[in-house]
């Protein structure tokens, strides 16, 4: 108890905070309270809880008001005692220190030699120092083809580690000291065939370092030097009989030849070798005669110039007898007649004629047959001239069936020539005598109207002479429209609930006093009651067109359209808002006019003017059917541009028509003072470095114009009053510029 009391007294001394003063229970004095902080117990030292103590009476309390008195013992926290962990002994190595077995408190960290924690020791006293290496020097050993070697190194006899230095400072691995076996350096020796007199060898491999022989490229199968040798074969002789020499071919004496090595011998035993040249008997050479060339005719063969050997009878093209030719090659075949068919020619009054005959163009002979078998004389083909048959003609007027005569004269009734004398000696020029016939005065009656797939016909009747002629009316194709066979125009007639569409064609191939005109019904465009009308109210409307009609080149096949209603006299813009659609749109007016507007990926809007005096339809047609085509029709204003003024444009980028590079566009209307023709349209202003411009006239792209500095950009266009010109910028930035026109 003395030890505890001393601890509490010490705590009381160091507690300095006074929380309050209260009266004792017996009212003999007022408590003077001091706060004592909590102290944690250690392994060997007691601690205490937080409490209050009166400095006057020495009593202990758990509260600052001194209401809850406690005992001295109740504030003490007993010492914890050591929490010992056993540490096993570790042997020291060459480089690492070890330790003896000991105990260590996990709380205070002190060291002890016993499990009861009675004998405290120092941390240094448990350490067993490292032993240090015991190094042996290992000498370097060279590697061979098959065995590994090693570099010089040091090895500890205790721990077995390897080092590059005698001090054991630089440890290395066991593998690092090994010098790998070099492996054989094998050379491939190709097989050499044995000859009649020389040994050969099989294919093998030889190490250039150790000199060993192997049968494989990996050096796994060692063989002996003798095993690669192939013994010599010995000669295999054939007897060759003697051959006499000819004009061109050499002969030979009798000899023997080895079929293996090809060597020559004079004896059957193969002892006396001779050369290949020594067995040859030289060729004798030709005895040539020159034969002159002979030309072939139509009937007989000829020959070229050549040479012939009187000994062997062969033919040659040269005097040296080097170029041999065949007997047939010297022959030039008979040419045969080049027969030309000459048609019969009728005699005239003045000229002879001829019967039909055949003539050779080479020899000039005449024949009655195409094969040239029956020759005839040149005189036999002639037919004498007839002579004129003269009649007297009087002066008369020309008609549509007969020429007129200016002066009385004579005329041959056969050839039609005019003469001043009855003998027909003095010929008169036709233009001095004859008056040309006049044209028929035709009226036309269509018998069968032509169509796009079948021909028609018409009867032409001359009202003067009564001459009649039936003519063919070609099919109504684009080709016949373009080549001038027909002149035509399309006509649209509005009949309350539909457009009747037909074409008026004029046959233009021949000149008619009364033009041949006929009408062919083509199709009708009915009101699209199923889809409703595009009603222009409050400036704009957006909807969906649910169908599209296939026709790549014309309006044929269009059976429905969108009727525009509730519009005023103004300009309107129609836009296809579906992103990927490509089609054509036609605006049909009740006055019969049709305006086509192509729609592409880069140009999906177009403008037109509407007049309340007419009815208008919009029809769609393209190469394939589509659904859900979004569109928008809105009233707009269009600035006009003429030769007398310049139109100022601003904020072009982000305009009202999509451009290929996300640029914008501006649309202007050509004023009424502009006469149709070619003009230069200038785009001037803040254009330098702004990219390219696309120029369109009435929705049709003319060209792409690069911007230029400092003038701007210029394009040549063909325009007339009322045309729409669209300038599309392929640039992302806004800009201001002006447009002006000048005659090109």
Say how far apart CA 18 and CA 53 lie, in whole Å. 10
Per-residue DSSP letter, 5 = H
Residue with tokens 């190469």: 623
Give the separation between CA 333 and CA 80, rounded to whole angstroms.
141
Q: Tell me if 268 sits within 8 A of 239, measured CB to CB.
A: yes
Which residue did the predictor score with more confidence, 508 or 94?
Answer: 94
Query: Per the structure block, which two tokens stand in for 325?
Result: 């030719």
DSSP 447: E
Write out pLDDT tens, residues 442-477. 888 888 888 778 898 989 888 888 899 898 988 877
Least confident window among 161-170, 452-461, 652-661: 652-661
Read off the tokens for 113: 């030699």
Q: Please tell me the distance from the alpha carbon of residue 464 to that of residue 453, in angstroms, as a whole number.
A: 35
**CA atoms of 145 and 180, how far apart (whole Å):** 9
Confidence of residue 625 (pLDDT cuts 50, 70, 90): low
The span from the CA of 293 to the CA of 318, in Å, is 13
Structure tokens at 25: 């229970």
Residue 53 CB-density burial (10 A; 0-12 exposed, 13-18 middle, 19+ buried): buried
Query: For 56-79, what is each residue's pLDDT tens digit?
Result: 898 999 998 889 999 988 999 998
Mind listing the pLDDT tens digit for each residue in 343-401? Answer: 999 898 988 999 999 999 888 899 999 988 999 999 999 999 888 999 999 999 989 88
Residue 2, pLDDT score: 31
Mean pLDDT over 465-494 rounds to 77
Peptide bond connecting 264 to the previous residue in cis, omega within 30 degrees of 0: no
SS3 140: coil
Whether the per-residue pLDDT at 699 is higher than 80: the answer is: no
The mean pLDDT value for 75-100 works out to: 91
Reference 400, options 464, 453, 357, 325; nearest CA is 464
Q: Which residue has the higher pLDDT, 647 or 395?
A: 395
Collapsed DSSP state (helix, strand, coil) of residue 609? strand
pLDDT in tens, 110-155: 999 998 888 989 989 989 998 889 999 999 999 999 889 999 999 9
Q: pLDDT value at position 507?
A: 81
Q: What was the pLDDT predicted at 350?
A: 86
CA distances (Å), 363 to each of 15, 207, 336, in order?
159, 90, 10
89 pLDDT exceeds 90?
yes
DSSP string for 648-686 = EE---TT-SS--TTS--EEEEEE-TTPPSEEEEEEEEES
Residue of higher predicted confidence among 537 and 400: 400
The pLDDT of residue 726 is: 82
Q: CB under 8 Å to 710, separation ≥6 — which residues?
A: 688
pLDDT exceeds 90 at position 189? yes
Q: Given this model, what pLDDT does residue 87 score?
A: 94
Task: Quote the pLDDT of residue 241.
Answer: 94
466, burial (CB in 10 Å: exposed 0-12, middle 13-18, buried 19+): exposed
- Integer Cα distance of 8 and 218 in angstroms: 93
SS3 assignment, position 561: coil
Q: Does residue 600 carry a pLDDT above 70? A: no
Structure tokens at 741: 């026109």
Cα-Cα-Cα-Cα dihedral sign, residues 631, 635, 637, 638:
positive
pLDDT averaged over the chain? 80
Whether the per-residue pLDDT at 5 is higher than 60: the answer is no
On whether the CB atoms of residues 585 and 603 are closer than 8 A, the answer is no
Rounded distance, CA 140 to CA 162, Å? 14
List domains and CATH numbers for the chain. 2-77 (no CATH), 84-128 (no CATH), 135-179 (no CATH), 186-230 (no CATH), 237-281 (no CATH), 288-332 (no CATH), 339-383 (no CATH), 390-435 (no CATH), 442-522 (no CATH), 527-636 (2.60.120), 640-743 (2.60.120.260)
Which of 466, 523, 455 is closest to 491 using CA atoms?
Answer: 523
pLDDT in tens, 505-534: 788 777 666 677 777 655 455 443 333 344
CB neighbour class for 440 (10 Å; exposed up to 12, middle 13-18, buried from 19): buried
| Residue 121: per-residue pLDDT | 92
User: Which residues have a Cβ under 8 Å from the Cβ of 533 and sit 6 or more positions away?
Assistant: 562, 563, 564, 565
Whole-number percent of the chain with pLDDT over 70? 78
Question: What is the pLDDT at residue 15?
Answer: 37
How far is residue 453's CA from residue 684's CA, in Å, rounded to a whole number?
Answer: 53
The yes-or-no verdict on residue 274 having pLDDT over 50 is yes
* Residue 561: closest CA among 490, 631, 635, 657: 631
pLDDT bin (cut points 50, 70, 90) of residue 681 is confident
Share of the chain above pLDDT 90, in %: 33
Asked whether the beta carbons of 153 and 164 are under 8 A apart, the reply is: yes
Q: Which 3 state secondary structure label does DSSP give 78?
A: coil
Of the given ranges (57-71, 445-459, 650-664, 685-699), which has the lowest mean pLDDT?
A: 650-664
Asked if residue 357 lies in contact with residue 376, where contact means CB atoms within 8 angstroms, the answer is: yes
pLDDT of residue 13: 35
Q: What is the pLDDT of residue 715?
A: 83
Report the C-alpha gap between 338 and 318 in whole angstroms: 33
pTM: 0.33
Predicted pLDDT at 669: 86
Rounded Cα gap, residues 712 and 680, in angstroms: 13
Q: Which residue has the higher pLDDT, 562 or 295?
A: 295
Alpha carbons 574 and 631: distance in angstroms, whole number: 7
CA pair distance 201, 224, nearest whole angstrom: 12
Task: Say yes or no to pLDDT of 576 above 70.
Answer: yes
The pLDDT tens digits for 204-241 are 999 988 889 999 988 889 899 889 899 988 888 999 99
More confident residue, 301 or 11: 301
At residue 227, φ and ψ (nearest 5 deg) are -70, -10
**Where on the phi/psi map is residue 62: left (φ > 0), alpha (ψ -120 to 50), or beta?**
alpha
Inter-residue contact 465 to 399 (CB < 8 Å):
yes
Q: What's the Cα-to-Cα distance from 451 to each of 444, 454, 482, 506, 524, rounded to whole Å?
A: 18, 5, 16, 14, 17
Average pLDDT for 187-197: 89
**SS3 of 8, please?**
helix
Indicate left, alpha or beta for 160 from its phi (over 0: left) and psi (-120 to 50: alpha): left
**Would you place residue 24 in the very low, low, confident or very high pLDDT band (cuts 50, 70, 90)?**
low
Average pLDDT rounded to a whole number, residues 247-266: 90
Q: What letters, b where the CB count within 10 A reaches 16 and e where it falls short, cover 533-572?
A: bbebeeeeeebebeebbebeeebeebebbbbbeebeeeeb
Confidence check: pLDDT of 314 > 80: yes
């Amino acid at each position: 108890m003395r030890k505890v009391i001393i601890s509490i007294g010490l705590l009381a001394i160091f507690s300095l905070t006074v929380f309050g003063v209260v009266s004792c229970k017996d009212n003999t004095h007022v408590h003077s309270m001091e706060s004592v902080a909590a102290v944690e117990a250690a392994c060997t030292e007691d601690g205490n809880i937080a409490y209050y103590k009166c400095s006057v009476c020495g009593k202990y309390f758990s509260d600052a008001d001194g209401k809850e008195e406690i005992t001295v013992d109740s504030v003490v926290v007993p010492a914890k005692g050591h929490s010992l962990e056993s540490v096993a002994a570790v042997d020291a190595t060459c480089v690492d220190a070890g330790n003896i077995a000991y105990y260590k408190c996990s709380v205070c960290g002190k060291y002890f030699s016993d499990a009861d924690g009675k004998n405290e020791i120092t941390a240094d006293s448990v350490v067993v120092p490292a032993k240090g290496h015991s190094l042996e020097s290992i000498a370097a050993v060279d590697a061979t083809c098959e065995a590994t070697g090693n570099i010089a190194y040091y090895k500890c006899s205790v721990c077995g580690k390897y080092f590059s230095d005698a001090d054991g400072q630089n440890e290395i691995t066991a593998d690092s000291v090994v010098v790998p076996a070099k492996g054989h350096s094998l050379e491939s020796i190709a097989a050499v065939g044995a000859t009649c007199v020389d040994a050969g060898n099989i294919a093998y491999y030889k190490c250039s370092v150790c000199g060993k022989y192997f049968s494989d490229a990996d050096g796994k199968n060692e063989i002996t030097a003798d095993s690669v040798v192939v013994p010599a074969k010995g000669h295999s002789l054939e007897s060759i009989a003697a051959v006499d020499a000819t004009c061109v071919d050499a002969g030979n004496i009798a000899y023997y030849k080895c079929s293996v090595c090809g060597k020559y011998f004079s004896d059957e035993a193969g002892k006396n070798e001779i050369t290949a040249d020594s067995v040859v008997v030289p060729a004798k050479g030709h005895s040539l005669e020159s034969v002159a060339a002979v030309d072939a005719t139509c009937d007989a063969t000829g020959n070229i110039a050549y040479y012939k050997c009187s000994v062997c009878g062969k033919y040659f093209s040269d005097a040296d007898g080097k170029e041999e030719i065949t007997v047939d090659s010297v022959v030039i075949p008979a040419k045969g007649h080049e027969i030309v068919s000459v048609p019969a020619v009728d005699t005239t009054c003045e000229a002879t004629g001829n019967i039909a005959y055949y003539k050779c163009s080479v020899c000039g002979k005449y024949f009655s047959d195409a094969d040239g078998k029956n020759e005839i004389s040149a005189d036999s083909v002639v037919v004498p001239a007839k002579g004129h048959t003269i009649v007297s003609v009087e002066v008369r007027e020309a008609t549509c069936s007969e020429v007129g005569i200016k002066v009385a004269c004579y005329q041959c009734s056969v050839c039609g020539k005019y003469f001043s004398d009855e003998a027909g000696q003095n010929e008169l020029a036709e233009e001095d005598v004859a008056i040309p016939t006049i044209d028929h005065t035709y009226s036309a009656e269509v018998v069968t109207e032509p169509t796009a797939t079948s021909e028609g016909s018409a009867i032409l009747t001359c009202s003067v002479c009564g001459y009649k002629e039936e003519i063919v009316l070609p099919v109504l194709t684009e080709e016949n429209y373009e080549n001038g066979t027909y002149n035509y125009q399309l006509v649209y007639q509005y009949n309350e609930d539909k457009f009747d569409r037909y074409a008026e064609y004029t046959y233009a191939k021949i000149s008619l006093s009364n033009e041949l005109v006929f009408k062919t019904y083509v199709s009708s465009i009915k009101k699209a009651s199923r889809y409703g009308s595009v009603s222009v109210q409050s400036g704009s409307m957006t909807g969906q067109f649910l169908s599209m009609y296939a026709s790549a080149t014309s309006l044929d096949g269009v059976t429905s359209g969108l009727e525009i209603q509730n519009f005023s006299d103004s300009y309107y813009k129609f836009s296809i808002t579906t992103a990927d659609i490509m089609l054509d749109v036609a605006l049909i007016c009740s006055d019969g006019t049709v305006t086509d507007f192509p729609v592409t990926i880069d140009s999906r809007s177009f403008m037109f003017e509407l007049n309340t005096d007419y009815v208008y339809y919009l029809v769609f047609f393209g190469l394939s059917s589509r659904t859900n085509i979004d569109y928008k029709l809105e009233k707009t204003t269009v600035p006009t541009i003429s030769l007398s003024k310049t139109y100022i444009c601003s904020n072009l980028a982000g305009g009202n028509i999509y451009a290929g590079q996300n640029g914008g566009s501006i649309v202007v209307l050509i004023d009424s003072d502009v006469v149709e023709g070619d003009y230069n349209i200038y785009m001037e202003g803040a254009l330098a470095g702004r990219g390219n411009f696309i120029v369109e006239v009435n929705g049709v792209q003319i060209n792409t114009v690069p911007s230029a500095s400092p003038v701007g950009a210029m394009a040549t266009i063909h325009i007339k009053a009322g045309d729409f010109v669209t300038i599309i910028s392929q640039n992302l930035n806004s800009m201001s510029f002006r447009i002006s026109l000048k005659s090109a």
